[in-house]
Chains A and B, each alone.
Chain A
Amino acid sequence: MIIIGEKINGTRKKVSAAIQERDSDFIQALAKSQAEAGSHFLDVNAGTSPEREADDMAWLVDTIQAVTELPLCLDSANPKALKAGLERVDKTPVINSVSGEKPRIEGVLPLALEYKTGLILLALDDETGIAGTAAGRMAVVHRLVNMAREGGLKEDQLFVDPLVTAISTGDKNALITYDSIRAVREAYPQAHITCGLSNISFGMPLRSLINQTFMCMCIYLGLDSAIIDPNNRDLTGVMLAAEMLMGRDKFCQNFSRAYRAGRIGPKKNS
């Protein structure tokens, strides 16, 4: 599983305050703890107003790279902010994200092609929004994958997000995501599939129980990346167990190593 650590996100109150006050200790602590927990990318979302987002993004990238070598996932719809990040990154990042919406195709996609970055593709557009069927979502995915490949990106640089809508608002909503994951896996075997999993439990009690169960089912169908809080040991434990049970963990070493390092399972009294 490719884990994209989600915590450096300016739409969270504490992170937003740290960005405003240029509190590098706070941001660096978040970066380090997510790196230690096994992230492969760190999501960076300044979440601030358009006029200051580029400055904030530049500061975040510099601040994070001072303490970790992990590649970043630049999270913005604002081309100026993305550009500010792209000019500073040490390693090839992933851009989060392009969709079938016109401003993103015109503003975000060209940057991904120019800098040859990884790219998250969201299965929605401005005509239908989020389609209520897997076929509708796949129509957008096909269009986006074609544009990205024609622009020179390789299939394995693409992270398709088939999208997750809340189970509380429609009891078949998880099924749409399953069908989409299956269809993406079949059409683009090299592409990665990622999701913001926690949308599934919006409006429900016991959200983490729902999130974990849902993640398992998605992994079974081909999900191989997730945008999550890597410090959530319950979620990480379920993820590693599911990967192992899918035959993707040689001699169960990822699972065992995480156990020995104390990253999963009940906390030991030290």
Chain B
Amino acid sequence: MTELNDLFTAVADMQEDTAMELTRKYLDKGVPAVEVFECYQSALEEIGRRFEQQIYFIPELIMSGEMMKASAEILKPYLADQAKDDAEGQKKLGRILIATVEGDIHDIGKNIVSMLMDLNGLEVKDIGVDVPADKIIAEARAFGADVIGLSGLLTLAFDPMKAVVEKLAEQGLRDQIKVLIGGGQMDERVCEYVGADAFVTDAVHGVNYVKGWLGESVQS
């Protein structure tokens, strides 16, 4: 991993061309694809830290997603004949179902969250905007979700969020599925009103929560 420092720096510093060049170089030299992939993962964590420190902003998060996609194209053939299973193993952190609740059609925040969750090794199912509570729960059940992420920008979204949590409880699913709510209006009071496990106002915090929850349960 130490020898991949320059790749780590290129990704973390948003030098896309250099990053792609280095990715190809290391793969040609025989560095295992999984190691290259892990380097990207840790660079992604660094990007998240810089976002929290307000060195980076939303464009960098989106650009890091583009870089991850581009690198995946390069990595794919190598993963096929190498340790594909190992890399797949990375993908099994857990499952999150994401939706914007009924009555709200905002999707920008939700889409960024979906992208970042995916990049951070979660299996993501994004079922869109204006989704009724019953549908969210049915989809979560079918998907085997560990976490439900509910997005909403308007204050009108509070009651539909609350409905999802209540219906989860009615169906006896509440202690199996964590609920994370996200959006510009979220705060402690809303979180309590809705009965969610946590609230976030930005995507990176959302990823941190979910990784924390699933990390615990995977290890135990």
Contact = CB atoms under 8 A, between A and B. Distances in A.
Contacts of A165: 108
A205 B57 contact: yes
Nearest to B56: A205
B105 A129 contact: yes
A233 B129 CA distance: 38
B59 A204 contact: yes
A180 to B, nearest CB: 17
Nearest to B111: A169
Interface string A6-41: 000011000000000000000000000000000000
B185 interface: yes
Contacts of B129: 129
Contact of B130 (A47, A49, A126, A166): A126
A168 B57 CA distance: 8
Interface string B101-121: 000011110011000000000
B155 interface: yes
B40 interface: no
B54 interface: yes
Contacts of A130: 105
B112 A169 contact: yes
A169 B108 contact: yes
B185 A166 contact: no
A257 B166 CA distance: 58
Interface string B42-72: 0000000000001001110010000000000
B166 to A, nearest CB: 16
Given A129-B105, A166-B108, A203 B185 contact: no
Interface of A: 10-11, 47-50, 77, 101, 124, 126, 129-130, 165-166, 168-169, 171, 202-205
25 contacts: A11-B155, A47-B155, A50-B156, A77-B156, A126-B105, A126-B130, A129-B106, A129-B107, A129-B129, A130-B105, A165-B108, A166-B108, A168-B57, A168-B62, A169-B58, A169-B62, A169-B108, A169-B111, A169-B112, A171-B59, A203-B57, A203-B59, A204-B57, A204-B58, A204-B59
Interface of B: 54, 57-59, 62, 105-108, 111-112, 129-130, 155-156, 158-159, 185
6 tightest A-B CB contacts, nearest first:
A203-B58, A168-B58, A129-B105, A168-B59, A169-B108, A204-B57
Given A49-B159, A166-B58, A168-B57, 15 more contacts: A10-B155, A47-B155, A50-B156, A101-B105, A124-B105, A129-B105, A130-B105, A165-B108, A169-B62, A171-B59, A203-B58, A203-B59, A204-B57, A204-B58, A205-B54
